Structure 1
Amino acid sequence: MSHSATDNEDQIELGRDENKAIRQRSLRLLGSLLSPHKKALAIAAGLVMLSSLGQVAGPWLVGWTIDNALMPLMEDGDTGPLTFSGLTYLAAAVIGGLAAGAYIRQAARIAQGVMYDLRRRVFRQTQRLSLEFHEKYTSGRVISRQTSDMEALRELLDGGLTGVISSMFLMVFIAGTIVFTDLGSAGILALAFIPSFFLTRWFQKKSQLFYREQRTASARLIVKFVETMTGMRAVQAFRRESTTERDFGNLSNSYREAFLKVFSINGRFQPGLVVIGNLTVVVALAVGAWRVIEGDLGAGTLVAVLLLVKRFFQPIQQIGMFYNSFQSATAALEKVSGLLAEEPTVVEPKNPAPLENPRGDLRLSSVKFRYGSGPVVLPHMDLHIPAGQTVALVGTTGAGKSTLAKLVTRFYDASEGTISLDGVDLREISTDDLRNAVVMVTQEAYLFSGSVRENIALGKPGATDEEIVAAAQAVGAHEFILKMPEGYDTEVNKRGGRVSAGQKQLLSFARAFLADPAVLVLDEATASLDLPGERIVQHGLQTLLADRTAIIIAHRLSTVAIADRVLVMAHGEVTEDGTPEELLAAGGTFADLNQAWEDSLV
């Protein structure tokens, strides 16, 4: 056998093992979701059995009445058997109907309980995962997990699962009743079941393939929509509306075609079952009528058998249709279980070291870093930042400045070496303590839906109104807040649409001031501001940096001027280190950058 053939077999085997692992992972997730509802599931099973028995009892009682109640009534005028069968039929119908209603309500409670648990798990997991995951996993895919995938699972649990369990019980009870009533008719039903089985299997295989296509098309459509809406400013700025509309149209067409494929097999499956069911009734009627004439079968028994045979094929159709929902939900469950199986790359310490009254002394020792399996970004970094010092990082794009900020804030862990705060390795500090001690303010001053007060209070949940106002006053945001329609209670639109870029940045500074961290990292915090806007935040920035360790990443050297120390970075290494005045006098890279910046202002 050639090496290529062997490699192909190995790949096929790996694919099978991977699919098996995915199925097992999905089943474990489903089991963990259903486990808290064991008692409710047992009650639901009892109710569906009672409902199915009530449905089967009707045709059987009709046959019994014809054979055993009509003759006494016609011969002797005895109404007792007919009254008994009528009351029994009424009781069976009432009990079956009540049981069916109770089962539907019970199943709905279970389904909603499962969905409530799953939604919370997915949301909790997306917050638990490290920044590395969110930088690789697009927001559209996360939204797809919480929307279309959840909807597919909800449809399965709310309706599909309820129907298929009821259908399976009903089929079993119908078959058992026919066997008990007339073994010959049961043989006809068994023969008719063979083509029904193969038709259903064909439907299942086709629907599995087409539903996977439909789920993939749906996810791509959602991702494209979210990315377009998120990047609408760029779309409109570069006049890409026609291009994005064409791409979205193509994805919508793929989604439409995937749905049409599903409906095309439905259009063959359902009529096929109807034809098989009707032919079975015809055969059962013909054979049964002949046996009634011969005296081998009672007329009532024949009527009961025909009613039961007719009902037998309805559950098969429901089970086949359920497989559609099942395939869609299975694909969704696989994706959701995959998301829940992701592990954070930044791990919470099992026995965190205490960090009391942090001073902000930072030290990087022999730090080396790469993103995943990519190239090395920081080849070797030894750096000490004493407590209370303001350090500015400057350099060209890709020099490693933002990477260093992510390591100091422990959004990523160093590939090699250690980063310590007040002598404690960041890996040994609990996330709560670290986030209280180290705060990052980014270029995008993100404001959440809610009031100005609530947005500032994110820096310190539970802060008093006096503390919130004091934080705003400290950074120079208090005056413009008071001029807003409702002051601190003014609702901000999504992404802070009611305030300017400079005002949003001041609010983010107030949030950071309220948090009162020992270490503050500003990653291009003024990059999106124009010069007037930058002047607005300069005072707030100086107040914010007072008496704390600060790392400022900035291209604008006006921001760098307030730093005690400047580090010039290139290719992940520090090439210059000193005060702004020392580096300007040395005439190196920093001096060149400063001159270029001054020339740009002319």
Structure 2
Amino acid sequence: MTTVLEESPAPVDVEEIPVPPGAPAALLRSLIGPHRRRVVVAMLMITVQQAALQAGPLLVALAIDRGIPALRHHDGGPLIAVIAAYLGCAALSTVLQRAFIRLTGLLNQDILLELRTRIFRHAQRLGLDFHERYTSGRIISRATSDVDTLRELLNEGLQELLAVGLSVCYIAVILVVMDWRLGLLALASALPMALLVRMFRRRSSRVYRRSRTAVASVIVRFTETMNGIRPVQAFRRERANLTAFEEVNHQYARANADGLLEMARYVAFSRATANLWITGVVLVGAYLVTDGSLELGVLTGFVLYLRRLYDPIDQLAMFLNSYQSAGAALEKISGLLAHEPSVAEPTAPLPLPATTATGREVSFESVRFAYRTGKEVLPTFSLLLPAGSTTAVVGATGAGKSTLAKLLARFYDPTEGRVLLDGVDLRDLAGPDLRRGVVMVTQESFLFSGTVAENIAVGRPDATRAEIEQAAREIGAHGFISALPDGYDTDVRKRGGRISAGQRQLVAFARALLADPAVLILDEATSSLDVPGEQAVQRAMRTVLAGRTAVIIAHRLSTVEIADRVLVMDAGHIVEDGTPADLITATGRFADLHTAWRDSLV
């Protein structure tokens, strides 16, 4: 059997993640669905508000053609009635607009809150393979800049769209009713306006897709540089990183400039069309007035309505601008949320048998693993780890050690075969049961912002302070924790930067021990410890690992001494299997590794 020496999947361009047909619309429906009642109320409010608002010019026409002539005959009743109706419509429009803005504002915040929560929750569900391909900066972009783009559309654009749409409908009806000849002439402008809108949408949609991709690249570049600031400064990468950042920043600026240019073209042509049409209508209307077939008040109201019909052109352009940008953002968010986790929760989870004093048995049955690129990392193999045993896995970098550990922790599912825990396939276990049963300590030893005690209690949030301190004592971390300024209440700050790498690993050990798993995986977990620290951990581990199944992935052969069994891996194969003592006295790879390690200590 042959294999390729790979421990991580090949990088894949995030833009290759497909967006299923209809996903953006489905996402929008699912967000709005729970708020249908408020949406209906808001629609009724804006419908009545626009009706009250658009009554104004019609009332002006009535005042000119009916109110003023009656006033000449000393009858002020019609004019007073028109004025009262005008003021009443204005007041009703103001009240309803305020209520509409307040209601939709609260509705929009609820929708955006749910959307951010979905992105965060789904990002945590996605498998390790996804996060190794899809950088954190792009996920941050989906939850921040893309959501903010949707916020701008919901808070401002939709109100403008509804107002413009309703006003156009109302005005179209009123114009035809007032004078069908001028009304049809005015409505004929809909054809060139529709062509302009279609052209703008087609051209700008491409621009705003580029814009959303460009802003994500800016966030990715910035996030990666700040997260890696130590190697950046250590290797004097500031100038090179600045050059790379300026490149993506200029791409973002060019995309925004192209979007503004498209909007400027649309506004210029639409204004020119509107002005030409108004001029034509006024000329025809003036001829009809002089001919006696049209009243002056009707022409005055007509002109006022035409201004109301064409004035929102700029607002419509701004909405189309927001709509295109928000459409691109919604597309990218829906693509992320539609991406199914590679490690899925079982639909009908099975319970784990009760834990025994001897831990749990681990079995790899005809397991094979290859990344999505198709390159094989672990060829087909079977392996049994008896309950309560401590197994060390050693080998050169790229031999497949960490991949084996990730399969046991179910960060990945095997391409073929099964991984069993006390006879139960890991794929049939509910996530909480699996995380309680199997805990992995990695060489990264990631700590969250918060106190030392909170970081130790990650695996058991309900643990008492006494239990937290006891775990730290058993692992040998109590001394340095007590010496911190606030002891266990000391804030470790971002990524545990307040304490050393070795101390972070001790805290990670204490966290794992407090969680009390039946299976404990240590993946290079002593790599950052100095010799005294490593010896202290090894002494503690001999007691802690009793009654627990353990897998130790190690480069340092000193860590292997506490193991009952050693597996030597090479190119994905298990090439040696035995006790440390037997393998040291043999003439195989482990004996060579042990001799080289011992010579390095001299």
Q: Is the structural similarity TM-score above 0.5?
A: yes
> Is the CA contact 1:567–1:576 (under 8 Å) kept in the aligned structure 2?
yes
Q: Secondary structure at the match of 1:223?
A: helix
Q: Which residue of 2 aligns with 1:5?
A: none
User: Does 2:114 match 1:94?
Assistant: no
Judge which range, 500-509 or 427-436, deviates more.
427-436
Q: Which residue of 1 aligns with 2:56?
A: 58
Deviation at 1:234, TM superposition (A): 2.5
Give the distance between the partners of 2:536 and 2:270, measured in 1 at CA.
74
Q: Secondary structure at the match of 1:291?
A: helix
Q: Which residue of 1 aligns with 2:112?
A: 115
> Is the CA contact 2:17–2:335 (under 8 Å) kept in the aligned structure 1?
no
Q: Which residue of 2 aligns with 1:298?
A: 295
The letter for the 1-side match of 2:520 is: L
Deviation at 1:540, TM superposition (A): 4.0
> Is the CA contact 2:353–2:422 (under 8 Å) kept in the aligned structure 1?
no
Give the distance between the partners of 1:173 and 1:330, measured in 2 at CA.
28
CA deviation digits over 1:19-55, x for unaligned, max 9?
A: 9974412111111111111111111111111111122
| Percent identity of equivalent pairs | 49
User: Does 2:24 match 1:29?
Assistant: no
Q: Secondary structure at the match of 1:458?
A: coil
Deviation at 1:202, TM superposition (A): 1.9
> Is the CA contact 2:523–2:553 (under 8 Å) kept in the aligned structure 1?
yes
CA deviation digits over 1:311-342, x for unaligned, max 9?
A: 10123432332122111111111111111111
Give the distance between the partners of 2:344 and 2:56, measured in 1 at CA.
62
TM-score, normalising length from structure 2?
0.93
Give the distance between the partners of 2:107 and 2:514, measured in 1 at CA.
44
Q: Which residue of 2 aligns with 1:385?
A: 385
Judge which range, 37-46 or 191-200, deviates more.
191-200
The letter for the 1-side match of 2:66 is: N
Give the distance between the partners of 1:417 and 1:505, measured in 2 at CA.
33
Give the distance between the partners of 1:540 and 1:327, measured in 2 at CA.
60
Judge which range, 321-330 or 40-49, deviates more.
321-330
Could you say what the CA RMSD is over the residues aligned between the two structures, in angstroms? 1.9
Q: How many residues align?
A: 584
Deviation at 1:249, TM superposition (A): 0.4
Deviation at 1:504, TM superposition (A): 0.8
Q: Which residue of 2 aligns with 1:7?
A: none
Instruction: Select which of 44, 48, 51 maps to 2:42.
Output: 44
Instruction: Select which of 300, 309, 314 maps to 2:311.
Output: 314
Deviation at 1:598, TM superposition (A): 2.1
Give the distance between the partners of 2:425 and 2:414, measured in 1 at CA.
11
Q: Which residue of 1 aligns with 2:5?
A: none
Structure scoring higher RCO (CA < 8 A, sep ≥ 6) equals 2
Q: Secondary structure at the match of 2:146?
A: helix
Q: Which residue of 2 aligns with 1:13?
A: none
Q: Which residue of 2 aligns with 1:136?
A: 133
> Is the CA contact 1:394–1:555 (under 8 Å) kept in the aligned structure 2?
yes
Q: Secondary structure at the match of 2:380?
A: strand
> Is the CA contact 1:565–1:578 (under 8 Å) kept in the aligned structure 2?
yes
CA deviation digits over 1:182-234, x for unaligned, max 9?
A: 11221231233332222222222221121111111111111222222222223
Give the distance between the partners of 1:505 and 1:21, measured in 2 at CA.
40
Unmatched 5+ stretches in structure 1: 1-17
Give the distance between the partners of 1:527 and 1:408, measured in 2 at CA.
21
Give the distance between the partners of 1:39 and 1:558, measured in 2 at CA.
67
Q: Which residue of 1 aligns with 2:11?
A: none
| Change in CA separation of 1:554 and 1:262 when aligned onto 2, cut-off 3 Å | same
Give the distance between the partners of 1:119 and 1:19, measured in 2 at CA.
20
Give the distance between the partners of 2:392 and 2:375, measured in 1 at CA.
25
> Is the CA contact 2:263–2:321 (under 8 Å) kept in the aligned structure 1?
no
Q: Which residue of 2 aligns with 1:15?
A: none
Q: Which residue of 2 aligns with 1:439?
A: 439
| Change in CA separation of 1:126 and 1:263 when aligned onto 2, cut-off 3 Å | same
CA deviation digits over 1:557-602, x for unaligned, max 9?
A: 1111221211111111111111211111002211111122222223
Q: Which residue of 2 aligns with 1:241?
A: 238
The letter for the 2-side match of 1:347 is: A
The letter for the 2-side match of 1:402 is: S
Deviation at 1:536, TM superposition (A): 5.1
User: Does 2:514 match 1:514?
Assistant: yes
Give the distance between the partners of 1:21 and 1:476, measured in 2 at CA.
50
Q: Which residue of 1 aligns with 2:497?
A: 497
> Is the CA contact 2:362–2:420 (under 8 Å) kept in the aligned structure 1?
yes
TM-score, normalising length from structure 1?
0.93
Deviation at 1:533, TM superposition (A): 4.5
Q: Which residue of 2 aligns with 1:230?
A: 227
